[in-house]
Amino acid sequence: MLDDRYTLAAIHDFAPALPWYIYLWTQAVWHLLVMRRYQRHLARLAR
């Protein structure tokens, strides 16, 4: 998308198994870290 500079991924109607206050401090943090690593990986592949 947009001159091959961006990728868009979406999950609709997501509801975590954990209560939100626990999810925000556990799974959400890990998800952010994993997605940033994936972004770096894709950037390396694009070179």
Confidence of residue 7 (pLDDT cuts 50, 70, 90): confident
Residues above pLDDT 90, as percent of the chain:
30
| Domain ranges (residues) in the chain | 21-47
Nearest to 38 by CA among 11, 46, 4: 46
* pLDDT over threshold 60, residue 1: no
Nearest in space to 7 (alpha carbons), one of 32, 33, 37, 43? 43
Mean pLDDT of all residues in 23-46 = 90
CA atoms within 13 A of residue 43's CA, in its CB half-sphere: 6
- Give the pLDDT score at 41: 92
| pTM exceeds cut of 0.85 | no
CA distances from 20 to 11, 26, 40 (A): 17, 10, 28
